[in-house]
Amino acid sequence: MLSMSSEFVSSRLLFKEGDESTYELFIGPQHPASGHMRFIVRLKGDIIVSVDPDIGYVHRTMEKLAEGREAIKAIPLLERLTIIDSHNVTVALVTALERLLDAEPPPRALYLRTLLSEINRIASHLYGMGIAGIMLNHSTMFMWAFGDREVWIQLAEELTGARLTHTYSIPGGVRRDLPQGFKEKFEKAARYMEKRLQDYMKIFLLNPQIASRYEGVGILKKSEARRLSIVGPNLRASGVKYDARLADDYGAYKELEFEVPVREEGDCMARMLVRVEEIKQSLSIIRQVLEKMPSGPIFAEKYLKLLPPKTREQVLKTGHVKLPGIFASLKLPAGEAVARAEMGHGEIFYHIVSDGSTKPYRLRVVTPSFRNVVLFRYLPPGHRFMDFPAIYGSLDYFPPEADR
């Protein structure tokens, strides 16, 4: 952050050369469009010369807080990194904890995790598309995407009991079994979504006014994307076929068939289209999950047998897991574990170091938005100022996730 030498800051003239003047402009931190960050933009006339993303306004010291509490409490804490995608945020954390604890979740639990991950991904992409829409003043796209996101939030609530803060995956399994009638509800939602995606194309992405704002704007070259360590749809829109679902072994992805949509153009339009294709893939993954889901327990035998017999019976009957008392002071064996998972925004990375106590000695998390924030520096220079919101929207950047 800049030091505050004066009481207020405003845009200022940096230098003048003939008729040309270079201005420094401060955008934010209060909600430039989707807020909590500041951009220091230098403009020569209407052309962007440089952008310095000034982040940290929503830094909540998550890594430090996680060191001060029992490992299990890190799950509800860290899902607040990206509240709109909270299962994808924590599934890698739980996977890393399981690798430390040597707890193997049963196959049905892995399928249920994948189910919620994909529901989250659809909701996250809809959120991103809605925000991208309103950044171009397209209120309809915003209203439609946010309205349709509600369908997936309701499905998640049906499964987990909570709209956003699911805390669904726990070491050794998941908290709840599939509710009755879920498949029918999903099929209805999927049919609706498939039709709506066509509507989105007509009113938004194929709309000549939007296409002219997105096509050829903010091009990220393949070589640059690799060099800058970009992740998620932003990487895949630049022609790199990489997805953490293929890289790390978590959930039931190994047993499912899915495409990883890739485009070569690397512009704003390609980034938006990759997200649309990913929603279609997620629908197909959920269909397969519901089709193939094995029957059986949803919580590891290792922990299940620690429950009193009556509670265990109740858990097996209702499909609602009660946590064994040991979870309050679960000792993490000394050592370290890493895990990666693919969120809606891209790859999230966890590294846990334990010294054998109940609290993690160090919990490192690198979020996709933190890896992608560097794009604000590289993409806008050379563009007109009006392209800035188009580029910002297409990156699906989420400040609370980057700041942690």
Partner 1 sequence: MNGEKPSWLIEIVSKLSELGIRLDEAKNVLKMEVAPESLREAAKILIQYGYDHLASISGVDWSTKGTIEVIYFAESYEPEKRGTLIELKTATSRENPKLPSLVDLWPNALLLERETWEMFGVVFEGNPDLRRLLLPPDWSGPPPLRKDYRVVEEGIYVEYE
Closest of 121, 89, 94, 119 to residue 105, by C-alpha: 94
Separation of alpha carbons 142 and 156, rounded Å: 21
Q: Which stretch binds partner 1 (CB under 8 A): 138-146, 294-302, 316-324, 365-373?
A: 365-373
CB of 189 to partner 1, least distance (A): 32
Q: Mask of contacts with partner 1, 113-142, x by CB under 8 A?
A: ------------------------------
How open is the CA angle 113-78-287, to the nearest 5 degrees? 20
Judged by CB under 8 A, the residue of 32, 35, 56, 319 near partner 1 is 56
Contact call for residue 361 and partner 1 (CB under 8 A):
yes
CB of 338 to partner 1, least distance (A): 6
Residues paired with residue 51 on neighbouring β-strands, in sequence order: 41
CB of 244 to partner 1, least distance (A): 9
Query: Looking at beta carbons only, is 191 or 241 nearer to partner 1?
Result: 241
Closest of 157, 14, 125 to residue 368, by C-alpha: 125
Contact call for residue 373 and partner 1 (CB under 8 A):
yes
- B/e letters for 297-310, b = 16+ CB within 10 Å, e = fewer, are bbbbeebbeebeee
Query: Looking at beta carbons only, is 37 or 298 nearer to partner 1?
Result: 37
Residue pair 33/134 in contact by the 8 Å Cβ criterion: yes
Contact call for residue 245 and partner 1 (CB under 8 A):
no
CB of 171 to partner 1, least distance (A): 18
Contact call for residue 347 and partner 1 (CB under 8 A):
yes
Around Cβ 24, how many Cβ atoms within 10 Å? 17
Query: Looking at beta carbons only, is 17 or 264 nearer to partner 1?
Result: 264
Closest of 64, 353, 189, 102 to residue 78, by C-alpha: 64
CB of 142 to partner 1, least distance (A): 29
State yes or no: cis peptide before 400, omega within 30 of 0.
no
Going across the sheet that includes 38-44, the strands are 12-17, 20-27, 38-44, 47-54
Binding site for partner 1 (CB under 8 A): 1-4, 55-56, 59, 61, 63-65, 68, 99, 226-229, 235, 240-242, 246-249, 338, 340, 347, 349, 351, 353, 361-362, 364, 366, 370-371, 373-374, 403-404
